[in-house]
Chain A
Amino acid sequence: MGVNRMAVVPVVQPVAFPHRVHVDSETVGLSCDICHAGALTQTGAGIPPLWLCASCHAAMPTESDAARDLKAFIDTDRPIPWQRVWRLPAHTFFSHRTHTAVAGIDCAACHGDMASLDAPPIVPLKTLTMADCIACHTREQGGERQVDQRRGGQGPVRPVSASSSPGGDADCTACHR
C-alpha cells in the first residue's frame, strides 16, 4: 500500500490549457460538465475527448504555442495524454455524483478556483487527504466524531459504528475498498 498522497510532484501538461477563457461567460462560457461529462452523473468526472476540443479548435487560428500544440494533436488525431493532478490511491472510493449532484457541493470546495486559471494547475489547488474528507463529513453531520490522536489527528481510528449515512460516514469501508 504505502504512502500514496496526492500529487506533490509538479505536473506538466502536453497542452497549456487555460480554464478561464473556456469557462468565463464573457468568452466561451462552457459549463464544467460539458468537458467533465461525469462530474454530475458518474463516479469519475472524466477528461474531455479530443473531438470535443476539435469541434471548436479545428477551424481556429493557431497563433500561440498552446494553440499550435493542440493543433498538432488534432491534425494527427492523437488523443492528448493529459496527466492527472488530483488522484486518490486505488484503495479508496470516491464518487463525484454523490458530492455534486446529490450533496450539491461546488467544484471549488474541493478543487479550488479552477475557473480562474490561465494555465493548467501543476499541483492540486487544494489537497484532499483522508483528514480533509473526514473534516467535511464531520462538519456536514454537525456532530462529534471520535478522532484518534495516534494518527496525528488524521482521522478516526476506531470505526464509529451505527452512524447513519446522511452527511457521510466515518465507517472506514465507506471510502476504503
Chain B
Amino acid sequence: MALWGMTIDLDLCTGCQACALACKAENNIPDVGTVDVRRGRRIAWMEVLVQTDPHHPGRARFLPRPCLHCDDPPCTKVCPVFATFRDHNGTVGQVYAQCIGCRFCMAACPYNAKYFNWRTYHDPGPGQNPQVSVRGKGVVEKCTFCHHRLLLAEDRARGEGRPLAPGDYVPACVEACPTGAITFGDLADPDSAVAHQARSPRAFRLLEELGTRPKVIHLAARRERDHA
C-alpha cells in the first residue's frame, strides 16, 4: 500500500496561482459568483494563502494549502454517514453520493480545506472533466489528490501487467507548478523524492501540534530567514 503525500517548498513558491488554476480546471470546481464569494462561500481546493507584512510593504509570503490528507484526520471522525474516510492509501476520500451535507467535517477541519455547495453552481456538460463528477447542491467537497488520476493510472498499469511506477500518478497542481515547488509521491517508500524531502530539516507540518499528522508537508523558506 502506498501512502500518498506531497511536499511544497516555500522557497520555490512564487505565489503565481498556477496550481490553484490547474486544480480548478481539473476538478470541475465551480465559480460560485460574487455574491456567494462575499458570503465566504468560495470553493478552492488548492488555496494559495498570502501573508503580507505592514512593516515590509511589497513583501509577501505564500503558502499553498490543498487538503492536507491528515494521517489522523479530524474530519472523518465526525462524519455520521462515513462519506469521508481515510482510504487504504492514506488519502482522505469524500464520497459525494454518500454525503448528506451536514458540514460537521467542515467544522472539524482545522485547515478549512473543505467546502460546501450552497447551490447547484453548474451542471455536467461540455468543457468539464468527465473523469470528475460535478458536485450538486448540498454536498461537501475538497481536494482528493486528483484521485481520479490514480484510478486511471492503476487501471493502465493493471492492463499492462505491471505495478504502478513513480510518476504514473501525479496530481494536476504538481504538473502545473512552473518552479517545481510541489513534489508528490509515496511517503511509505523511503527512497522516493517526496520521502526524501519530507526528511528535510526545513520540513514542517501545518498545526502539527494538533496531532493530525498531515501528509502535505511544507518546507520552510530559507530566503525569508536570511532576510529577516
- Report A's interface with B, CB cutoff 8 A: 1-2, 41, 43, 89-91, 93, 95, 97-98, 101-102, 157-159, 161-163, 169, 171-174, 176-177
When distances are taken between beta carbons in the complex, the residues of chain B under 8 Å from A95 are 151, 155
| Contact among B1, B88, B139, B147 for A1, CB-based, below 8 A | B139
> Bound complex: CA of A27 vs CA of B100, how far in Å?
53
| Contact among B81, B91, B97, B161 for A91, CB-based, below 8 A | B97
> Bound complex: CA of A169 vs CA of B1, how far in Å?
13
B158, A97: Cβ atoms under 8 Å?
Answer: yes
- Could you tell me the distance in whole angstroms from the C-beta of A110 to the nearest C-beta in chain B? 16
| B180 at interface by CB-CB < 8 Å | no
| B121 at interface by CB-CB < 8 Å | no
When distances are taken between beta carbons in the complex, the residues of chain B under 8 Å from A89 are 97, 133
| Contact among B88, B131, B133, B144 for A161, CB-based, below 8 A | B88
The size bracket of the interface on B is: 20 to 34
Most buried by A among B82, B91, B97: B97
Q: Is the interface of B mostly helix, strand, loop or mixed?
A: loop
- Report B's interface with A, CB cutoff 8 A: 1, 81-82, 85-88, 91, 93, 95-98, 124, 130-136, 139, 144, 147-148, 151-152, 155, 158-159, 161
B147, A177: Cβ atoms under 8 Å?
Answer: yes
When distances are taken between beta carbons in the complex, the residues of chain B under 8 Å from A173 are 87, 91, 93, 95, 144, 147
| Contact among A43, A97, A162 for B88, CB-based, below 8 A | A162
When distances are taken between beta carbons in the complex, the residues of chain B under 8 Å from A162 are 1, 88
Q: A97-B158, A173-B87, A176-B93 are in contact. List 4 more A-B contacts (CB 8 A).
A: A2-B136, A102-B161, A159-B93, A162-B1
